Structure 1
Amino acid sequence: MTDDAQARIAEMVAKSDVLLFMKGSPLFPQCGFSSRAVAILNHLGAEFDSVDVLQDQGVRQGIKAFSDWPTIPQLYVKGEFIGGSDIMMEMYESGELAQLFEEQGVVSAG
């Protein structure tokens, strides 16, 4: 994995309040886990950016090293790695994710 990919990933994470690295796009997710992650974010009313890892092999491999997390999707909020779709689901069900978004000011109240 190249330093270039790491630098690009770091830049993407830094410039987006809520960023989802996923397979496919929010309109056309290419796997069930990515689809579930998008559904959670949409349900919470979060404005988010996404990166299709299928379009960039460097990012696809690099993101796993960047976060030290083996799977995709991966969610970042204000530069902090939150987790994959299982963690997102658990946090969503417990209300933690909505609370985090509210605390970080990344979701419109109501």
Structure 2
Amino acid sequence: MAKKVVIYTFETCPFCKRAKRLLNNKGIDFKEIEISDDDAKLDELEQQTGCSTVPQIFVNDKFIGGCDDIIQLYKDGKFDEVFK
């Protein structure tokens, strides 16, 4: 069964675009929730994850991290294990 991947983004964020590109290139289906104008949602995410930046990426409702985190998973050969 496919894992549920959700990514919270800002419209103009280059790190968000890079993370989405990696997910797309690896064939990962994901739901994008764009929160550029939603300070309350970003505050809520920060309370939940301890992270105040985007992207914020979740797999099956578990916080995985941001762009640098998933790139590191890819470099370490652990990307498929987490996302597939």
Q: TM-score, normalised by structure 2?
A: 0.87
Aligned-pair CA distance for 1:51:
0.8
* Alpha-carbon offset, residue 61 of structure 1: 2.0
Out of 91, 94, 106, the position equivalent to 2:73 is 91
Equivalents in 2 of 1:65, 1:40: separation in Å?
26
TM-score by length of 1: 0.68
Alignment of 1:11-90 (within 5 A): 17-24=4-11, 30-90=12-72
**Using CA pairs below 8 Å that are at least 6 residues apart, which structure has the higher relative contact order?**
2
Q: Unaligned 5+ residue runs, structure 2?
A: none
Please identify the structure whose Cα radius of gyration is greater.
1
Work out whether residues 9 and 55 of structure 2, in 8 Å CA contact, stay in contact via their aligned partners in 1. yes
Q: Which has a greater percent of strand?
A: 2
Q: Cα deviations across residues 31-60 of structure 1 (Å, max 9, x unaligned)?
A: 111011101110110100011111322112
Identity of aligned residues (%): 27
Letter in 2 for 1:22: T
Q: Secondary structure at the match of 1:72?
A: coil
Query: Structure 1: which 5+ runs fail to align?
Result: 1-15, 25-29, 103-110
The amino acid of 1:75's aligned partner reads I
Q: Quote the RMSD (CA, aligned, Å).
A: 1.5
Q: Which has the higher helix share?
A: 1
- SS in structure 2 opposite 1:54? coil
Secondary structure of 2:51 counterpart? coil
> What secondary structure does 2:69 align onto?
helix
Number of equivalences: 82
- Matched-pair contact (CA < 8 Å) for 2:43–2:52: no
Q: Helix, strand or coil for the counterpart of 1:81? A: strand
